Amino acid sequence: MSQETTLILFKPDTVQKNLVGTVLARFEKEGFAIRGLKMMTLSDEILAEHYAHIAEMPFFPSVRNFMQESPVVALALSGEDVISKVRDLLGPTDSTTAAAGTIRGDFGDKTEDSKMRNVCHASDGPDTAAAELKRFFGEGEIVER
């Protein structure tokens, strides 16, 4: 086991449904520590960087539009093996296949047309987490606990 810090983005659907506190409480219940938390509006530039792997795909404009529907909440969360444990808590990316009891299973959009409305983004590995944390948090915005 290793101590890690990961990035979680509470997506617009979570903010719009007033579920940020409910989902955050699930992470805290698991014993993870909040090291940074802020609400922000995502620019075209940050979205192009964050989604560089799909920025040239024909569906990217709909992803960008969704991610700009409302502010998002960025969370820096730390704990033992937090990256894999958070991903397990969230469940599969596609909320329509997520089991009850997972965050996406309980709160994600279950319509076939809304697979990106899946509550949260979470870093998928240590290198990704490091890059994403730098992208969404400035110097001094992630604190030691």
The residues that are catalytic are 121
Strand, helix or coil at 132? Answer: helix
Separation of alpha carbons 109 and 132, rounded Å: 25
**What type of residue sits at position 25?**
A
Give the CA distances from residue 46 to residues 3, 52, 83, 127, in Å, rounded to whole numbers and listed in that order.
Answer: 27, 10, 22, 18
Residue 4 contacts residue 33 (beta carbons within 8 Å): no
Whole-angstrom distance, CA of residue 125 vs CA of residue 71: 25
The conformational region for residue 33 under phi > 0 = left, psi -120 to 50 = alpha, else beta, is: beta
